[in-house]
A and B are shown apart, each in its own frame.
Chain A
Amino acid sequence: MELILEQMPVVIHSLNIGFLQTLKLFFVTLIGAIPLGLIISFGSMSRFSPLRWLTRLVVWVVRGTPLMIQLLIIYYFPGLVLKNNWWGSGETGRFIASSVAFIFNYACYFSEIYRGGIQGVPKGQQEAGMVLGMTKSQIFFKVTLLQMIKRIVPPMSNEIITLVKDTSLARIIALQEIIWAGQAFLKGSQGISGAIWPLFFTAVYYLIFNGILTVLLGRLEQKLDYFK
């Protein structure tokens, strides 16, 4: 116990740096994947069938293969096959490659949630819009999209919470997020070696952050409750 207290400041400092990286990846992924998912969902609902099937094929591939493999391919493929490692070696390159993998992967999951949300809005709503003389884009943005947002909050909350924990997969391409930081003490880092507790302690960070997210997303759901 005394040993743990002694190690605490160094470990917490290092875990904080790792968690900052985790948060960065989390927010960048959300900012990129939320709009990209919408574009992909339009593709998968397109009336132009080749585009529709192509989009669904891509979504199938991305959802059907492990994110860990996608990370490895995205980071190592350019250097291994194209003989030009455009990501660079340092932390920045690894972060950008992770972001690309996460955004694309999560956009595909989001697109299916959007599709469910859009298709779940009763046809009568659009017909009512047409009767009122709204244009198609007005109907989409003011009738369908608005109701879709309310419907997708619970499934999106699920994915968002999963995303927080999935960011740890990026350690496979040596992105130094919080699990990496915790594991470093297991082997030995900054004079502390063989410390097991930091790795397990990382769970506290995830738990607290997910607690905050759960509350915020719950509030959002309540706020959107005025549509019935």
Chain B
Amino acid sequence: MKNMKKIWAMLLALTMILSLAACGSKKETPAAEEKPAAEQPAETPAEEPAADSEVAAIQSKGTLVVGITDFAPMDYKDADGNWIGFDADMAKAFAESLGVAVEFVEIDWDNKVLELNSQAIDCVWNGMTLTDEVTSAMECSNAYCNNAQVVIVPADKADQYQTVEACADLAFAVEAGSAGEAEVDALGYNFTPVKAQSDALMEVAAGTSDAAVIDSLMAAAMVGEGTGYADLTYTVGLNSEEYGVGFRKGSDLAAALNDFFAAAYADGSMIECAEAYGVQAALIAQ
């Protein structure tokens, strides 16, 4: 009987130790989140030649883990379930040039910085707009593709909203934290932030918002004839912006990718890849 009690006590003690560790983590997390932010100003200007080269680390690990979302035509699955797209194909070629395998991991876009800093992924390569938030949180490559934020409205009302001024009275739906939200906010227009660009489209389709602001590359693929949103169309562009690839702050992989982009652009393989996915018009010379 006494033994039994002892065993229970031991088991419980073990449980408690484990749970204490969990408690501890809760208290430390805010500090952890602040840390990268605090380090950035010090690291960015210094541009120290990363003591431990990440290129070497990736090569010894043997895999480049690429964080993506399902985002045609940049990253999407073919009929056999393999990842293809302009970004996916370039990522495969880049990994090959480093002599490593490539692994694509679908992430929650809101958590991309978390995924990167926690080493769950090695880069974010998914038609990512180079905003101030992105460039301050990640080591970014050179821009490789142009994009714009466009206004989405029901097709039957499109002719009324061909200029930025004409859209002033609309109730917009925009993705929280997106470049589109920043544009609408700067114009002082009335908007509701939603979780994703696709949710913004759903808002317009359901009539709960008058208009949405999303990426032009995505708009071209998702609205109009022959898509799920046949009754919607895009009108005016609000700004222009550029896509880049994000790595961990201070990583030398960004420089390695810039060299790779330059070489791939020079030998024409990058343009060839862009043509395969219909994004050649948006490609930026390297």
- Contact residues of A between 41 and 74, Cβ < 8 Å to B: 42-43, 46, 48, 51, 54-55, 57-58, 61-62, 65, 72-74
A54 touches B108 (CB 8 A): no
Chain B window 51-82, contacts with chain A (Cβ cutoff 8 Å), 1 for yes, 0 for no? 00000000000000100011110001101000
Instruction: Find out whether the CB atom of B71 lies under 8 angstroms from the CB atom of A187.
Output: yes
> Beyond A194-B201, A194-B223, is A51–B106 a contact (Cβ under 8 Å)?
no
- CB-CB under 8 A for A76 and B120, given A40-B15, A137-B4, A186-B198: yes
Which residues of A69-97 have CB atoms within 8 Å of chain B's CB atoms? 72-81, 83-85, 87-90, 93
| Residue pair B65, A55 in contact (C-beta under 8 Å) | no
Closest Cβ–Cβ distance, residue A216 to chain B (whole Å): 30
Q: How large is the interface on B (under 10, 10 to 19, 20 to 34, 35 or more residues)?
A: 35 or more
Task: Tell me if B160 counts as interface (CB < 8 A to partner A).
Answer: no
Main secondary structure of the interface of B (DSSP, over half): helix
CB contacts between A and B, total, < 8 Å: 146
Contact yes or no, A42 B8, CB < 8 A: yes
A176 within 8 A of B: yes
Contacting A at CB under 8 A, from B26-51, are: 26, 28-29, 32-33
Q: Is there contact, CB below 8 Å, between A187 and B198?
A: yes
List chain B positions with a Cβ less than 8 A from chain A: 1, 4, 8-9, 11-13, 15-16, 19-20, 22-23, 25-26, 28-29, 32-33, 65, 69-72, 76-77, 79, 103, 105-108, 111, 114-115, 117-121, 196-199, 201-202, 205, 218, 221-223, 227-229
30 contacts between A and B (CB under 8 A): A42-B8, A42-B12, A51-B9, A51-B12, A54-B16, A55-B12, A55-B16, A57-B23, A58-B22, A73-B25, A77-B118, A79-B119, A79-B120, A80-B114, A84-B119, A89-B103, A89-B105, A104-B22, A136-B1, A174-B105, A176-B106, A186-B198, A186-B201, A187-B69, A188-B72, A189-B77, A190-B77, A190-B79, A194-B228, A196-B228
